[in-house]
Amino acid sequence: MGGAAHFAGVGKQEVGMLVSQILKNKAGGVITIDPQASLRDAVELLAARRIGALVISPDGKRVAGILSERDIVRELGKRGTECLDDKVEQLMTRQIYGCAPTDAADQVLRIMTDRRFRHMPVMEEGEMIGLISIGDVVAARLSELEHEKEALTGMIMGY
């Protein structure tokens, strides 16, 4: 990953959901944009795909940064629409935290919450294989809790 990249490296978990399981439930691939694209291009892509962030990548595999709706709104608030002609690489977040498919979802959720970001690239052998959002992780955790509740209810009721 480009810039000051960090790898979560939260480790494997014996029980519970893994990042790889979350990725299996996601449709489509990761939407990326070239670092030289304009902010205007990024805004149009975000709107067209109805997503909240783009991975900035020169080749679709290496992560140079992430550009979120919040980044764009913050810059528009500071400078107005003149920023729409800037290159996305000028505004992207460069300090990126990534995770591995074998990382525990609850640990990834903790990192995202503690560090206050909402999107995390999933990396394998130095290449991005997916992107998860905090919403993806929360939904997976809620599903996991529902299954646990059903299993416990079944045990108590003698099913």
Candidates 3.90.79.10, 3.10.580.10, 3.40.718.10, 1.10.357.20; correct CATH number of 6-157?
A: 3.10.580.10
Residue pointed to by tokens 């977040």: 93
What average pLDDT does the segment 121-140 reach? 92
pLDDT at site 14 = 46
pLDDT at position 85 over 70? yes
What DSSP character marks residue 99? B
pLDDT at site 13 = 42
pLDDT at site 1 = 54
- Domain parsing of the chain, residue ranges: 6-157
Residues 101/126, Cβ–Cβ less than 8 Å: no
Q: Could you tell me the CA-to-CA distances from 88 to 20, 107, 109, 131, 156 in Å, in that order?
A: 29, 30, 27, 19, 55
Q: CA-to-CA distance for 159 and 144, rounded, in angstroms?
A: 19
pLDDT at site 143 = 82
User: With pLDDT > 90 as the criterion, what percentage of the chain qualifies?
Assistant: 70
Residues 105/130, Cβ–Cβ less than 8 Å: no
What average pLDDT does the segment 101-122 reach? 93
What is the rounded average pLDDT for all residues in the chain? 88
Q: CA-to-CA distance for 148 and 69, rounded, in angstroms?
A: 35
